[in-house]
Structure 1
Amino acid sequence: MKIMHCPLNGPRNISEFTTAGEVGEMPDPRQTDDAQWAAHVWVAYTRVGVVKEWWCHAPTSYWFIAERNTVTDEILRTYPASEIYRERKHFGSPEDHGV
């Protein structure tokens, strides 16, 4: 059984988690064309080595970040997203910007 440390709930069976891909900056939708936005949403880049990924503890819907080695599948560190993201970005709707 593989155990993952959840920053909120402690050590849990990995079957309780789901991943949502690498942590990265979201492009500003007001400055992005359709092809760039589609690539951001749909294209997954598989990097070799240590990556930062979004993970969710499904029973509690708690989202956090894990650093994982993609070669060994070892989870090196888990921590709350607030360690990276200090504030929420708000892009607003197109109507907010006269589009």
Structure 2
Amino acid sequence: MRITCPLCGPRDRREFYYYGAEAYLHRPAGDDAVAWDAYLHLRNNPAGETRDLWYHEAGCAQWLVVTRNTVSHSVSTVELVAERGAP
């Protein structure tokens, strides 16, 4: 699988560290135990399009949101987390 980093261009996926679903960017507010339990422990495993967090470890050291298809392994978009703004 190839990921096109917005800063470094096309790279092999081995240059990146996979962190998990993009939902990690949306932390629950406050001390709601049920919301925190769901945030930390409940995960979807969809077949098809997903939005994931990847870290470009061997390159620019930036966090990326990668939209990809888990069935075909095709990557449709890559964006910098730093340029997304507040959730």
TM-score, normalised via structure 2 length: 0.78
Identity of aligned residues (%): 25
Larger Rg: 1
Structure 2 unaligned residues grouped into runs of 5+ = none
What SS does the corresponding residue of 1:4 show, helix, strand or coil?
Answer: strand
Give distance in 2, aligned partners of 1:18 and 1:63: 9
Equivalent residue number for residue 63 of structure 1: 63
Give distance in 2, aligned partners of 1:44 and 1:71: 18
Larger relative contact order (C-alpha < 8 A, sep ≥ 6)?
A: 2
Matches within 5 A, 1:1-99: 2-24=1-23, 25-28=26-29, 30-33=30-33, 35-59=34-58, 60-83=60-83, 85-87=84-86
Structure 1 unaligned residues grouped into runs of 5+ = 90-99
One-letter code of the match for 1:21?
G
Give distance in 1, aligned partners of 2:74 and 2:32: 35
Q: For this pair of structures, how many residues does the alignment match?
A: 84
